[in-house]
Structure 1
Amino acid sequence: MQSKIEKHVMLTKKLALSAVIALSLSACGSGGSDDAPSAPRVQNITYEALPAMLTFNEGETVRLSLNTKGEGASGLKFNWTVKYLNQDVTFTGQGSDTISFKAPNVDMHSTMQVSVKLDEANSTKTFGFHDQHLSLSIKDLNPPTTPAHELGEEVSEIDTSVLTTGSTWTETHKQNSRIDQVDSSYNLVDSTLIRSFIVESADQNKQVVGTNYCGFPDLNSMELNASVLSIKCSSGTSSTQYFQKENSFSIVQKCDETIVGVSTFEKKSNEAIASFGSLNMQFKNFADLQTKEVCAVVATSKVTAHSADNQEVAKEEATAIRLVTQQEGNDFELHFAFNEAPNGFFVSLNSFFDENNKATIISGSYPELNASSQSGSLDLDAKNSISNMKGTFNFVLKNDAGLNEAVEGDFELVLE
C-alpha cells in the first residue's frame, strides 16, 4: 500500500517565509544645465514591509498596503502578483502601493501567495527597497465537522475508569490532509486505521493507559492528553478536543477550525478477547492452519489528485490487512496489500500486473515460508467494510531459496 500511495502523495517542502523589516527608500538625482532635464528625485521615502503571514476568512476583503510616505512617494510604481492554486487572482490597485481583493472560497484550509516589486523604471534609481513576499492563510468557514452528539459530551480529560483492566477495545483513526506539490497541484488524502487492544492499566492523573495491542508488541502504553493522532498542522494553530460517552471516547485534532483527525476508542468487551474472526489456510508442503484465535489490523487510504486549476485528475484507493495469530506455538502473520477498497471484489496478486498487490507470510515456526506471493488472487465480499470483512484467497509463494509453495484459504474479520 505504501509504495502505491507514495506515487501519488509526494511530500513537498513547506512554503518558505521570510520576514522583512521596514526600510527607507532614498534616491538622489543629479543636476544639469538648463538644457538637460534633471533625473527625478525620490527622497525621504519610507514604507511598511509586508508581514510574512496573514490569515483571512474565505470571502473576506483583503487590503494590503506598503504605506509609502514622503516626498516623491506618489511617483513610485509597484508591480503586484496575487496567486491561488498557481492561478492569477483579480485585484485592484496595480501600480500603486495598495491593493485589495476578495479571498477565494476554499474547500479546506488553503494558502495564497502575494509578491510585490518596484517597477523597472523606478528600481534603477531607487535604493533600499526589497521585494516583498507574503503568504495568506485562507480559512474555510464551512469545514467538515463531526457533530458533538455523535462523539458524546465534550470533556477536559478522559475518565479512565471505563478502561477497566482486562477489557478489550477497538481503536479507529481517521485522518484527512491536503498535500501541496511544488507545481501547485495537490493531493487530498483520507486514511483510516482500525486495530484492537486489551487494557492492562489506566492512570487517571497521568492520563496514561497501559495497553496490549494486537500486532504491536512494543506499543505498551498511550498518553491520552498528548494527542494519539500526532498530526502536524502545515499552517494554522493545532488544538485537541476530548469527547466521551458510555463505553467510548474520542480525541479530535484540529488545525484552526478544520478537523484533520479523529481517533475513537470503543469498548468491545469487559473481558480479554483473542478472537476477532477466523483464518483457514491449506499449504502444499506444510501443515494446514485453522484457527479462530485471530486478531487484525486494517488500514485504508483514498488519494485524490488535483491539478493546479483545481481539477480532479486521478483517484486511488488502497487497503492493507494484517491477520495475526499463532502457528504451532509461534507468531504467525498473513498480510494482504492491494490497490482496491476492502470491497473491491476481485484482486489480482500477480506481480506482473501490479507489483504492489501481494500476500505475505511471516512465520515463526517455518522461516522458509517468509515470502511474498508472485501470483494468485484474493476474492472479497461486496458487503465488506474496514471493520467487517470476508475473503477467499489462493497464491503461490516464491523466493530465491527455491520456495514454490501453493497456499489457499479464507478469512473472516469482525472488529466491531
Structure 2
Amino acid sequence: MAFGLLGAVLAFAVGRPRGWPEAVAAVPAAGIALALGLVEPGAAWARTAELGDTVLFLAAVLLVAHLADVDGVFGWVGARVGKACRGEPRRLLGLSFGAAAVTTAVLSLDATVVLLTPVVLATAAGLGVRARPHAYACAHLANSASTLLPVSNLTNLLAFGASGLGFLGFAGLMVGPWVVAVAVEFAVFRWFFAGDLERGGVREAAEPGPAPRFALGVLAVMLVGFCAGPLVGVAAVWVAVAAAVVLGGRGLVTRAVTVRAVVGACAPLLCLFVVALTVVVEAVAEHGGRDLLTAVLPGDGSLGGESLPTLLGVAAVAAVAANLVNNLPATLMLLPVLGPHPGVLLAMLLGVNIGPNLTYAGSLATLLWRRVLAGTGVRTTAREFTALGLLTVPLSLTLAVVALWLAL
C-alpha cells in the first residue's frame, strides 16, 4: 500500500493533470498513510521536524532567485553571454554551461531551470542559433552541477546535516567531482550536438544594459555568508533568509514586486509537497523500502568504509533509485540506511544528483524544465533525453566518484 501511494504521488507529479500542483496528490496520500497506520504519527512528525530548516531555506532561496530576476540579473547575464559568444554556437554552448553551472551551484537548480533556461533560449533565438543544445544543457547542469555546495540542491541540504561536514569542508570535497561532471557533460554535448553547433549566428547581439549592482552585491554577500556563516555559528538558512528580506524589502518599497508575488515566489505549495512526500516516503521505508536498500547497498551494513568499490556501489544504487522513485524520495530513504558517514553520503549525493539525467522522472527539476519548455517552441523527446543520458551519466558519475575518492 505504501509503495502504491508513493507511485501515485510521483505519477501525478510527472503528469500534473490540469496543471494542478504536486501537493494536490501528496497531501491526501500522506493523510491516507497516517490514517491507515502505515506510518506512526511520531515518526512522521520527527521526519517533518527534521525538514524545518531545509524547507525554510528552499523557500528563501527561491524567493532570492525570483527577486534577482525581477532586478534584471538573469537578463543581464543573458545579454553578456550573447555579446561574448559573438554569434558562434560552440562558444554560446560553453558560456551557457558556465552560466548554468554557477547559477545551479549558488542559487540552486530551480533557479537554473525556471529563470536561466528562458534567458538562454531567448539569447539563442536572438542570435539565430539552434536552441536545442542549450535547452538540454540547462536541464543536465541543473542536476549534475548541483553537487558543489550544500545549498545547490534540496538533496544536498538533506544530507548536509547528517554528514557532520562544515560548509567549506563539503565544498572542498565536492569541487573535484563537480568540475569532472561538468567537463564530461560539455565534451559529450559537443559531440552529440555537433550538427546543431555547425550553424553560425546571423544576428548581432544587443549591447548589455547596466549591471544590476544592488542585486549582484546581495548575491555576492549571500555567497560569502554561506561560506563564513558556519564559522560564527550562523546557519546557511538564516543567510538566505536575510538576503530574501533585503531584496524583498527593496522590491516592495520600490513597488517592483507585490506581497502576493513575494509569497508566490516562496513556492508554498512546493514546500507543502516536500513535507507531505516525506511522510509518504517514511511509510515506504517502514514497509520494506529500508530493508530493500540495505540488502542491495554494498558493504557490511555500517557502510563505514570509503573504498572506491563501496563509493561506486553506493552512487550506482542511488542513481538507480533516483530514476525509479525520483531523487528526493530516494534521498529520504537512503539517508537513514547510510548513517553519518561523510564519504558515503557524498557518493550517494553524486548518484541522486547526476543520475537523474537519465530519465524525465529522475528529478523534480527535470519535470519543471519540461513545463518551462512547453511555451518556448523547443521540442525535446524522452527518447533523446535518455539517449543523451546514457552517454553522460555512467561516465560522469564514475569519474566524479573517483574524484571524490581521491579527495577523501
Instruction: Return the TM-score normalized by structure 1.
Output: 0.22
Answer 1 or 2: higher relative contact order, Cα 8 Å, separation at least 6: 2
TM-score relative to the length of structure 2: 0.23
**Which is strand-richer, 1 or 2?**
1
